[in-house]
Amino acid sequence: LSSGNFSLLLQELKTGDDQTTFYLFHQQDDKKGHTIIQNKKMCLFPSYSVESFQKPVVTMNYEDRKAECSSTGGYPEPTLTWTNQNGLMDQGVTQIIRNPSGTFNISSTVNITENQTVMCVIYNPTLNETLRSTQQTMSDSNPSNNLYVIAAVIGPVIGTVIVGALIVFYFRRKWCCCSQAELNPPELQAELEGLNPPQ
């Protein structure tokens, strides 16, 4: 334009419109009222569709000694990295799935050890947006090991209780037998022998 400026608003862009180039033309009337169409491209610009990802969620699988990070609903494809107190971690294959709407879901796994702080970082390059989620692993990353410890402690206790119960049962039975013998005092025993004289 010879003077002034203008603004252009594009509404309801979709992910499929990402990096589509738009050209701007204009028309104006001359001093006599005739419409003059300006065929020359005044400017062009690409569009960028962006969508923020959800805050990443980190879940622990202590049985397999792995942590999984996942996030959904963002655009374009992000990068996902794992870090711990020592820096970058070696992670598994990152899975990126495209939804029917054109947005992406992303997930990744990493091996974990006990007493470790792991952080999942998702970066959206177009938005220059970084999302983080941190988790602390347990002192023993495999709870089944705790079961072994509990069994090792409780097992001997249960064994001692069982042995003690058997000893008490044995001596009580013996006491009962002795008590039965005491039911026949010497006077009664002599009388019984008199009823059955020797042959």
Q: What is the pLDDT along the chain (199 residues), one digit of tens a residue?
A: 566 777 777 777 777 777 788 777 777 777 777 776 666 666 767 777 788 999 999 999 999 999 999 999 999 999 999 999 899 999 888 999 999 988 999 999 999 999 899 999 999 998 899 999 999 988 764 455 555 545 555 666 676 767 666 676 666 655 555 444 555 555 555 554 555 555 5
Q: Read off the tokens for 158.
A: 């249960």
Q: Read off the tokens for 121.
A: 């970082």
The one-letter code for the residue type at 41 is K
- Which residues are bridge partners to 43 per DSSP? 24
Helix (H) / strand (E) element for 26: namely strand 21-29
The CB density around residue 83, as the number of other CB atoms within 10 Å, is 17
- Comparing C-alpha atoms, which of 146, 120, 148 is closest to residue 134? 120
